[in-house]
Amino acid sequence: MASALASVALSTTFARAVPLPENSMVQRIGAEKKHDNPLFKGKAFRRVSMAVSVNVSRFEGVTMAPPDPILGVSEAFRADTNDLKLNLGVGAYRTEELQPYVLNVVKKAEKLMLERGENKEYLPIEGLAAFNKVTAELLFGADNSVIQEGRVATIQGLSGTGSLRLAAAFIHRYFPDAKALISSPTWGNHKNIFNDARVPWSEYRYYDPRTVGLDFDGMVADIKAAPDGSFVLLHGCAHNPTGIDPTPEQWEKIADVIQEKNHIPFFDVAYQGFASGSLDADAYSVRLFVRRGFELLVAQSYSKNLGLYAERIGAINVVCSSSDAGTRVKSQLKRLARPMYSNPPVHGARIVANVVGDPNLFNEWKQEMELMAGRIKNVRQRLYENLSEKDKSGKDWSFVLKQIGMFSYTGLHKAQSDHMTDKWHIYMTKDGRISLAGLSLSKCEYLADAIIDSFHNVD
């Protein structure tokens, strides 16, 4: 067997030809000399060598991968034994007691599923039909002409990440010369997704460190300078990691330059309803581009707004100029999905279909989303108040209130972020992003002390 190789050498020549590591097990019997055993006195034997080689893996050339910059934060947090520790790295909603939260409406939907005795048969490649219908209607609006005319190709995906990855594979196959444009900064996995799909990308300016706000002029200039026909990745709402969104007027101007350059908009919508508390308000940017007649791509996720983190439920939607084009695009998305994962899981899809498709559950869900979004807004307000009260330097912390969604981009650089962890036991990503969804009102003052200390005392 390859994992346990043994070489038995019956000749001096062979034994000498095999280099033996220092830690190998070697047994040698005789060496061209008379044997000590009296039974063999006077007899000479040739050397017999037995060498058991070290276990050398065929994967010796595989190097250790670096820890994930986001998920690695949680691993470090779990290893910390300090009682004051806070995990503000991963974007997952927590209660005021900092406990994971399963929505009541999700529990009701799962109860319905059990009562119906639904089976676990394979789904079609494109996913659960009921899910695909309601997810497209939720995003674009049920009365939208692109829905009514059958111009949307919708494929159930493995949450937002899987949906983005499927779309990137589609771009690579059918637009091999196109480039993707992503914001600087952006969600850490965007670059990984395009790299693995072999789609070249470049960045457009987005965050302005001087104002801790949007560099709108830089954004527009970079989109305008990109090669015609590029795919522009846009965050539909609650930009990750900054929490900084364009205004409605700015969205119009962004649409103008994308149209002028014949670019293709590619929206990542991970927080619909979770950012502002309104499903319709958070879909504004996508619906604006649809209304203006763009063909575009939209990736969706239900990890945040329904708390279905582990169900990996989402979708990729492609809006086309005709139903015929939509049918062909859908067929090719299915063709790409087949060798990737064959077909998607059913459990999360049924939860979404039950919640969105039932008027009573749907209204209850909207109320729960408002409560979750409201708690994050309250935490954001309290943190701002604590920062403003405690910091005597006169620094303007109002950017905390201007940002939206579950994240706040503090403006802290890597050394300051490290200080937050090393001294204060606050775990966050190294770009200064903190998840307010993992913060409670009672911990805001402690966090404010840590931010002020790190900002002013670490260069």
Q: Which of 108, 179, 187, 282 is catalytic?
A: 187
Catalytic residue status for 280: no
Q: How far is residue 373's CA from residue 401's CA, in Å, rounded to a whole number?
A: 14
Q: How many residues does the chain have?
A: 459
Residue labelled with tokens 């805001």: 444
Q: In what order do the strands lie in the sheet with 25-29?
A: 6-9, 48-52, 25-29
Phi, psi of 10 (to 5 degrees): -105, 10
Phi, psi of 131 (to 5 degrees): -65, -50
Angle (CA) 94-95-97 rounded to 5° is 110
The first and second tokens of residue 120, run together, are 């676990």
Q: How far is residue 70's CA from residue 192's CA, in Å, rounded to a whole number?
A: 13
The first and second tokens of residue 59, run together, are 């994967």
Measured in whole angstroms, the distance separating CA 439 from the mean position of its chain's CA atoms is 20
Q: How far is residue 88's CA from residue 412's CA, in Å, rounded to a whole number?
A: 14
Q: Please say whether the beta carbons of 342 and 336 come within 8 A.
A: no
Catalytic residue status for 304: yes
Q: In what order do the strands lie in the sheet with 313-319?
A: 152-158, 313-319, 296-301, 264-269, 231-235, 180-184, 201-205
Phi, psi of 77 (to 5 degrees): -60, -45
Q: Please say whether the beta carbons of 282 and 271 come within 8 A.
A: yes
Angle (CA) 122-297-376 rounded to 5° is 85
SS3 at position 427: strand
Q: Please say whether the beta carbons of 233 and 266 come within 8 A.
A: yes
Catalytic residue status for 41: no
Q: Which of 304, 397, 424, 443 is catalytic?
A: 304
Q: How far is residue 237's CA from residue 286's CA, in Å, rounded to a whole number?
A: 9
Q: Which of 268, 282, 330, 443 is catalytic?
A: 268
Q: How far is residue 104's CA from residue 263's CA, in Å, rounded to a whole number?
A: 42
Which stretch of DSSP H or E encloses residue 157?
A: strand 152-158
Residues catalogued as catalytic: 187, 268, 304
